[in-house]
Structure formats: C-alpha cells, structure tokens
Structure 1
Amino acid sequence: MLFLRLNRIAADHRRRRPMVVLGTLAGIAAIVFVGVLSVWNGVAALPLLPICLGACLLQAIVYFGIPWQRVPRVAILVVPAVWLGGLAACGLAIGPLATNFAGLPILAFLFAGLTQARWRSLWLLPVSVPAWLTLVTETGATIVRLWLPVALILWIVIAEATAYQTNNLRREMRRLHREVDLDPLTRLASRRVLPEVLRDVADGDVLVLIDVDHFKSINDTHGHAAGDQVLKEFGRMLLRCLGPHDVAIRYGGEELLVVLAHPTPQAVTSFDRSLRREVLEIRPRVSFTAGVSRVVPGESVDDALARADATLYEMKSAGRNRAGGDIGPRDVTHPAPDSRPAAGVVDGV
C-alpha cells in the first residue's frame, strides 16, 4: 500500500516537491543511519560527524535552493546523486564496515524510477558505481567483479520496472485530469478549473460573461437534445475565436466565461464580431448577450467578474443580443441591429 501511494504521488506532475522532500529525507536518514551504526560499532565519530552534517546541509540546500516546480523533471536526479556522494564519503570514513551498506544505492534507483521517465535511471550510473565500489573497497577483487554486474542489473531492473508503472499511471492521470477539467458537452474548460483560472488573471485581462439568448425557449420548442446541440456548437465556435492565451469556461448552464489575455479594445471588438459571425451557422439560430469588464490595477478579480455579471444583466434587460461593458477608458454599449440576429459589438477607445 505504501509503494502504491508513493507511485500515485510520483505520477502526479503537480506534486513534484513532495517527492523531492521525500528523497531528501530518505537520503539524510540513510547517511545518518550509516554514521550512527558505524559509531555504535566502534568507528571514530570525529570523521563521520562533518560528513553527515555536510551531506545533510547539502541536501537542505538542494531542496530549498531549487525551484522544483519550474525546473525540468530530470533535475530531481540531483537528490539521489547527492546522497550517493554522502554514502561514498561515509564508506571512505568507516573502512571495512562500509560493506554492510552496499545495498543502499538501490534506493537511489528506486527514487529515480518513481520520479523519472524510462531509462533516465542510467544517468545515475556514473555516480552510483564509484559509490558502491567505495562501500565494498575492502572486499576482494574477485567478489567485486562477480557482484558489480549483478548489482548493476538489479539497480536497472528495479528502476525501469518502477518507471514503467509510474509513467503508465502518469499518462492515465493526465488523461483523467483532461477529462475532468473539460466540460463534456461544450469541450470548454469546466467550472472545476475556475478558481485556478481566476487566480492567474492579471491586470489588463478582460472578462467576458456570455449568455445564450432565450435558451429555455430553445429547449421548450425544439427539445433538450437541440439545446445540447446548440451549446455544443457554440462551444466549438467559441474555441475558434480564442487566442493562444485565452481561456473559455462553461460557467453554468448556458452561461460561458471567457478570459482574454491583455487584449486591446480593438481585439475585444474583433472577438465579439468574430463570434457573432460564427454563431450564425448554428441551427436553430441563436444570439448571445455579453457583459465585459477589464481588470484594473488595485481591483480584485471577483470585483471585475461582478461588474461583468452586472453588465450582462443590464444588457439582457435592455433587449438581449448585445454586448456592453468597460474595456477602455469609458463604458460603451452597442445593441445588435434588429435586421441581423447576431451583430452586437463592444467598442472602446
């Protein structure tokens, strides 16, 4: 059960730091264990103390000094590499007693299997082989020649079997995260990711709250299957109009939230016009109403979202099929002409 839990933690790309702290603590524990047991068996404590303290300090520097969430995952291999070096230093200090700890390097390969892609564990060989030889330095040359190939095979098999299982689990978790984070009908982001999206909204971003007009009447007149098809098509059209850094979320029912990344007023107008052209293809024909707000310095995202919601309500009360809000230095509201069912725009200077 413990191994399965570790496997799940390692497979989650968002939990990189827990694996680093786990490896750091395991390395410190292994080095301290070697030092304490060696002292217990009569080895002088004086040379071991600075080695253990130095290894522990280096592990702490590795943990706190590297931004683990941003560095490539392969950088995590520095954790087992550091404590393999600590084991080698302990081996040099305690002499023949070090042979009792020759099995500890396998923990480094287990850690590599839990945190790395397949075959990345081979990167540890240039460190682990000298460390192992240091631990068995008092053993006869014949024994070393016999056991080194066995140790190498065992290390690699353990690491690769673990990496195979962990990477399969990692792929499955990514797939599940994608499915959970996407609304199954519109294929937009689901409401589940709303807190994360809002947390990343910056000053200058624009929030567009969209409501499909008279959606209840579509369900009542054409049936719920037609209503679902309208939302499905609307989501597809909306995705076409988004820029590479924009996000669209199914906010609830027939309401959608779009976050435009720091657009100019002209870009907001272009987005509105493009979407209105796209939705003309949907049958039964639909229109939409939108409330727009730009996040200004000193304002919380919740306040900006509340402004967009209030503007949306005003636009619906004014007759729907229009968009309005604050996207520049002044508020501008434009209704859609009656002759065109979906041509409302928001403008700003």
Structure 2
Amino acid sequence: MPRPIDPQPSTGRWHAIGLIGFLILVVLYGTVGAHAAYVAGSSVDVRLYWILGGATVLAGAVAVVGRIIGWHNKRVLLLGWPIASLVFTILVGSVDSDATRQLPGTITITFVYIGLTCPRWRSLVLAPLGVVAFVVGTGPHPGGVPPTAVTAALMWVIVAEVPAWLIAKLTQQTELLHQIAQTDALTQLLDRSTLGHQLSLHTGESTIVLIDLDNFKQYNDTHGHAAGDELLVSFADALRWSVRQDDVVFRIGGDEFLLMLLGANHSDAEHVVARLRQRWTEVGGQVGFSAGIAAGEPDPLRAADRNMYAVKRATGAT
C-alpha cells in the first residue's frame, strides 16, 4: 500500500528546515570569514567568533525549548527564522563584512523561505531589514545605499510573493475540495463520510437526533423525483433554521437526517425538534417526519434509530 503524501511539510518540519538553514548560514559565514582573513594574511576578528558561537548556542536553545513547550507546532513563529537570519547577517557584516560580502544570495534564500512558509505580504514587512542586511553585509558603501539594494529588494519580494500566492491559492482550492467531498450535493448538508469522526470526537457531550421523513417514498412516486428533491432541500433549510449555532446537521441517507446537538440534553433536543416542526409547518411541508432522540447512550446512533422507529410504529408512518 503506498504511503500517503503530505501536500507540504508540516509546521514542525519547516521549523527544522529553518534551524538547519540558520546553522548552515553560521558555518558559511565562519568559513568564508576565515578564508578571507587567511588570504589577506590577517587574523579573524574575535568578535566574529563570539557572534558565530552565540548564534549557534541561541538557535539550539530556542529549538530545544520550543520543542518542549510546543513552539515547533506554531506556524506563525516560522517568521522567526528569517528574522534571525537577517539580523545575524547584519551583526556579522558589521564586524567582518568579508564574511558576508561574497554570500549575498543567502538573503534571497531567506526570502524564498518566507514565501514558502508565511502568509502573503510578509516579505514587504521584512524587505527593509533585508536592505539593511544587504548594505551592511556588502559594505562599506561610502556613497550611501547603493541602487542595487533597491533592485535586490524588489527581487526578494517577487521570489517570496510568487510562491506565497500559489500556496494560498492551492490551500484555498484544497479546502474547497475537502468541503465538497464532505457535503451532500443536493442539500449542502454534511454527508455521512465524516459522521463517524464527529461521533467519536463529541462522544458524551452531544445529543443525537435521528430524523426520517414520513411516507417520503409515496410522495416521491406520486409527484416525481424533482418534487422529491425540492422537498428534501426545503427540509434541509428548515433543519438549518431550527438548530443552534454550534450544532451539526447531516444528511445520512435518502430521506434520513441526523442532528448532533453539542452540549445539549434530552430537553434541549425536544425543543429543537419542536422548533423544526413549527418551521416545517410554516413553510408548508407536504410530509411529516419522525424523530428519535438519544442522550447519554453508549451507542447513541443505534439508540436514536430505535427511538425513531418506535415513533413511526406509534404513528403508523413509513
């Protein structure tokens, strides 16, 4: 059986990528700085070692503490790695620009990471910090900010916003497809594909109401399938009107519906059913319905089904 494929790395994995990328940046700046000093026949500024070592220890500490207290699952904190990288570049460049001058592409990679992990327009917020990192890291610049810094900033925004826009669109389409897959096409209620998950999720804290339209088959045979579909849509609208804001409504069969009343007791469920009967009468419902309520049962679905058919037998409905 093939392994399921995630649409993109998880938040925790993106944090790991950010940490690894930051540590690679530390190694690169240290290596290039040492090589530049060797070529120039000078010694490496000791402050560079302090910055490199401090950044490594701090990044490791943040990663460990974040793992312990759950920061690694917070997507909003992914922006911290690009900020740390840009600030680190500024600090290294201010001490030893030879270590950063040959690696301006690291800033571009940082903005690519922003585009892959953060919501749209975050690159505009960090573009000024990127310009400072570029100017300090490639300095000194006696004439002030070089024109290439502005060009570079525009490029950074583009390389960040293009993937951010694409990911936002893909996420929106994925959510829409997910919603469509779980929605009954006729009534726009949830279908039974998520019923099991919802039941297990709210076990012990919800009351189940199972509803079946009375004599619907006879109505369908007499008036035609189009009229039957219109009746189902009208009943779904009445259900939506009758339930409370947090309740969940399913169409689980041809003329069978299920209400999951969150935090409700038997009396609350009876009140919802009464509201539904009143609403269904007001809109001119052409058939009746039977409802079975189950609250606090070990198997609420089976209990609601049993109670519903007891009502049908008592009223002679089918």
Amino acid at match of 2:228: G
Alpha-carbon separation, structure 2, partners of 1:42 and 1:145: 23
CA deviations on 1:136-166 (whole Å, 9 max, x unpaired) are 24x5445962332122111112222233333
1:28 aligns with 2:15: no
- How far residue 178 of structure 1 moved from its aligned partner, in angstroms, is 3.2
Q: Distance in 2 between matches of 1:56 and 1:230?
A: 63
SS in 1 for 2:257: strand
Letter in 1 for 2:256: E
- Is 2:127–2:156's contact at 8 Å kept on the other side of the alignment? no
Name 2:39's counterpart in structure 1: none
Q: Contact (CA 8 Å) 1:92, 1:135: kept in 2 or not?
A: yes
Is residue 313 from structure 1 mapped to residue 313 from structure 2 by the alignment? no
Please name the residue that 2:263 is paired with: 262
Task: Classify 1:90/1:132 alpha carbon distance in 2 versus 1 (closer, same or farther; 3 Å).
Answer: same
Deviation readout 1:268-291 (Å, 9 max, x if unpaired): 222111211233367772111122
Which residue matches 1:289?
Answer: 290
Q: Structure 1: which amino acid aligns with 2:222?
A: T
Q: TM-score w.r.t. structure 2 length?
A: 0.78
Which residue of 2 is the match for residue 82 of structure 1?
A: 84
Return the alpha-carbon distance in structure 2 between the equivalents of residues 90 and 190 of structure 1: 58
Identity of aligned residues (%): 28
Question: Residues 154 and 291 of structure 1: is their aligned pair in 2 closer, same or farther, counting only changes over 3 Å?
Answer: same
83 and 291 in structure 1: CA distance in 2 versus 1, 3 angstrom threshold:
farther
Query: What is the alpha-carbon distance in structure 2 between the residues aligned to residue 79 and residue 295 of structure 1?
Result: 49
Mark the CA change 1:31 to 1:90 in structure 2 (over 3 Å): closer, same or farther: farther
RMSD value over aligned CA atoms?
3.4
Shift of 1:259: 0.9
Residues matched between the structures, number: 301
**Could you report, residue by residue, the CA deviation over 1:50-73 in whole angstroms, capped at 9, with x for unpaired residues?**
43242233245446645677x7x6
In 1, the alpha carbon distance for the partners of 2:249 and 2:152 equals 53
Shift of 1:184: 1.3
Distance (whole Å) between structure 2 residues aligned to residue 201 and residue 78 of structure 1: 36
> Secondary structure at 2:202's aligned position in 1?
coil
CA drift of 1:220 comes to 2.7
Following superposition, the deviation at residue 247 of structure 1 comes to 0.9
Cα displacement (A) at 1:191: 2.0
SS in 2 for 1:207: strand
The offset of 1:211, in angstroms, is: 1.3
2:64 and 2:134 map into 1 onto residues whose CA distance is 23
Distance 2:117 2:54 in 1: 30
Structure 1 gaps of 5+ residues are: 10-17, 323-349
SS of alignment partner, residue 118 of structure 1 = coil
2:182 touches 2:194 (CA, 8 Å); kept in 1? yes
Point out the more displaced range, 56-65 or 159-168: 56-65
Which sits farther off after the overlay, 243-252 or 304-313?
A: 304-313
Unaligned runs of 5+ in 2: 35-43
More divergent stretch after superposition (207-216 vs 281-290): 281-290
Structure 1 stretches of 4+ moved >6 Å: none
| Pairing 1:83-162 to 2, within 5 Å after superposition | 83-88=85-90, 95-137=97-139, 139-142=140-143, 145-162=146-163
Q: Give TM-score scaled by structure 1 length.
A: 0.72
